[in-house]
């Protein structure tokens, strides 16, 4: 099959004007100028842009059932309390969780997202839904075990590491939730287990200033939450280090690790992250909703850190659209290279999830995962897709056009 459009954004090179793509057996067989590909296209999208399927490197599909229930109000710790309360007063059962994941999958596809790094606290419920869908990605089983609940670590870790429902498109990973919901020994065990099964890791890190106070002194507002929950005990000790240093000492920093958020990092932290090869998943609209200071994504990129884009969840974000994250950034940083925004939403996300061999760019040998966007009013610049509100008119995964409810 051959597809053509006004522009093809390869993701790892310059845009191709009057471009075309040849697909064979679900893979990219060729990409270039229409005249170079040869025969007339089977589908000509005209005034449109074909780009690699977008990669949402950090999301929580299952929290779609909390959409609008706990809107961020600029105070992260207060929001976290409200999240915990919402989950406790309306505990989700298997039916609600599976339905939430299905909703998140459908919304992702509708926004041109073809690959996700999904965090799940209920892997036994969510992974079958993800595995049966068209999406590809990594399902990170979340591990939380702190204070009096530390005896739950083994069970949660084994559930997170279970290869059940792993498919050619969906891999399993481990997500130690954060340095304030796991103690250092537990963080180390997560790193060790991931190494044993050759799995990727994802951790919420340096998300708030309160986190640093917690890891260095076991005090502050985040320390109040486990006390309020009655799980703090005499064995809890301060790590005596910043979050990034703590993760390094526990073996969590490495090229197969995604650091979600990284909103509060200093130059030393950036040096540790860069040296480790870990990736940072920046969630722009969630970051802004909590009123954090400007994210250091530019400094990270200059330091050689792979920075990609995530949406977080519908509990903190109005949608699961990576494209809308990029549009949000384009509006706020108009001087930044537009192609780099695309890379952060595609190729860099694929690198972070360990899937760069298969996805993230339109290049021979890669999976034909594509999103097609019409150029509003016949705009003559491909960058116009970052300045509009248009949703994809077609989405392909493995060369097959994917259906989704609008």
The mean predicted confidence, pLDDT, of the chain is: 95
Average pLDDT over residues 112-122: 97
Burial-class residue 357 by CB neighbours within 10 Å (0-12, 13-18, 19+).
exposed
Write out the two tokens for 84: 């915990």
Range list of H helices, 152-306: 153-161, 184-196, 209-217, 221-228, 243-249, 267-276, 284-289, 297-302
* Least confident residue range of 5-19, 97-111, 242-256: 5-19
Q: Please report, in angstroms and rounded to a whole number, the separation of the first and last CA atoms in the chain.
A: 25
Burial-class residue 395 by CB neighbours within 10 Å (0-12, 13-18, 19+).
buried
Nearest to residue 362, comparing CAs of 399, 324, 389, 387?
399
Contacts (Cβ under 8 Å, ≥6 apart) of 102 = 129, 133
pLDDT at 213: 96
Average pLDDT over residues 362-378: 93
pLDDT at 38: 81
> What are the two backbone dihedrals, phi and then psi, of residue 171, each rounded to the nearest 5 degrees?
-105, 160
Which own/partner contact pairs does 379-387 have at CB distance under 8 Å and 24+ positions apart?
Answer: 379/47, 382/6, 382/7, 382/9, 382/15, 382/49, 383/338, 385/49, 385/51, 385/323, 386/326, 386/327, 386/330, 386/338, 386/341, 387/327, 387/330
Q: What is the DSSP-derived secondary structure letter of residue 53?
A: P
Each residue of 45-57: pLDDT tens digit?
999 999 999 999 9
Each residue of 132-179: pLDDT tens digit?
999 999 999 999 999 999 999 999 999 999 988 899 999 999 999 999
Q: Strands 16-24 and 48-52: what pairing? A: unpaired
Domains, the chain, in order of start with CATH, read 2-52+361-401 (2.30.40.10), 54-352 (3.20.20.140)
**DSSP 3-state of 40:** coil
> What are the two backbone dihedrals, phi and then psi, of residue 198, each rounded to the nearest 5 degrees?
60, 45
Residue 236 near residue 268, CB atoms below 8 Å: no
Residue 406 clears pLDDT 70, i.e. is over it: no
Residue 62 clears pLDDT 60, i.e. is over it: yes
pLDDT-based confidence at residue 405 (cuts at 50, 70, 90): low
> What are the two backbone dihedrals, phi and then psi, of residue 338, each rounded to the nearest 5 degrees?
-60, -35
Q: Which pTM does this prediction carry?
A: 0.97
Nearest to residue 19, comparing CAs of 382, 388, 386, 391?
382
Residue 69 clears pLDDT 80, i.e. is over it: yes
71: left (phi over 0), alpha (psi -120 to 50) or beta: beta
Question: Scanning the structure block, which residue is given the tokens 């399902």?
Answer: 139
Residue 90 clears pLDDT 80, i.e. is over it: no
pLDDT-based confidence at residue 223 (cuts at 50, 70, 90): very high
Each residue of 311-365: pLDDT tens digit?
999 999 999 999 999 999 999 999 999 999 999 999 999 999 999 999 999 999 9
- If residue 97 lies in a helix (H) or strand (E), which one and from where to where? helix 94-110
Each residue of 380-396: pLDDT tens digit?
899 999 999 999 999 99
């Amino acid at each position: 099959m051959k597809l053509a459009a006004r522009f093809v954004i390869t993701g790892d090179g310059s845009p191709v004007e009057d471009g075309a793509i040849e697909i064979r057996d679900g893979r990219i067989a060729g990409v270039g100028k229409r005249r170079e590909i040869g025969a007339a296209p089977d589908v000509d999208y005209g005034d449109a842009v074909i780009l690699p399927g977008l990669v949402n490197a950090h999301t929580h599909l299952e929290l779609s059932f909390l959409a609008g229930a706990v809107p961020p109000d600029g105070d992260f710790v207060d929001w976290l309390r409200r999240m915990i309360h919402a989950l406790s007063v309306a505990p989700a059962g298997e039916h609600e969780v599976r339905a939430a994941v299905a909703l998140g999958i459908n919304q992702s596809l509708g926004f041109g997202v073809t690959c996700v790094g999904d965090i799940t606290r209920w892997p036994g419920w969510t992974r079958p839904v993800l595995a049966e869908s068209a999406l590809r990605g990594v399902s990170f089983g979340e591990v939380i075990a702190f204070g009096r609940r530390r005896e739950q670590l083994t069970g949660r870790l084994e559930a997170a590491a279970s290869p059940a429902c792993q498919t050619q498109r969906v891999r399993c990973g481990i997500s130690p939730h954060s340095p304030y919901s796991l103690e250092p020994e537990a963080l180390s065990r997560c790193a060790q287990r991931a190494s044993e099964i050759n799995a990727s890791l994802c951790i919420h890190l340096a998300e708030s200033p309160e986190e640093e106070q917690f890891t260095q002194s076991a005090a502050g507002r985040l320390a109040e939450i486990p006390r309020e929950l009655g799980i703090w005990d005499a064995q809890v000790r301060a790590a005596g280090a910043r979050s990034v240093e703590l993760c390094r000492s526990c073996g969590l920093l490495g090229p197969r690790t995604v650091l979600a958020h990284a909103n509060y990092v200093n130059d030393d932290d950036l040096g540790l992250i860069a040296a480790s090869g870990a990736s940072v998943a920046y969630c722009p609209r969630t970051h802004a909703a909590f009123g954090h200071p400007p994210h250091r994504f530019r400094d990270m990129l200059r330091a050689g850190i792979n920075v990609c884009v995530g949406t977080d969840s519908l509990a903190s974000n109005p949608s699961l659209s990576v494209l809308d994250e990029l549009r949000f950034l384009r509006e706020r940083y108009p001087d930044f290279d537009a192609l780099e925004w695309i890379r952060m939403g595609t190729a860099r996300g694929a690198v972070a999830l360990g899937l760069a061999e298969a996805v993230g760019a339109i290049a021979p040998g890669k999976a034909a995962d594509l999103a097609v966007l019409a150029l509003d009013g016949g705009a003559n610049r491909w960058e116009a897709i970052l300045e509009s509100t248009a949703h994809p008119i077609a989405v392909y995964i493995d060369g097959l056009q994917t259906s989704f409810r609008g």
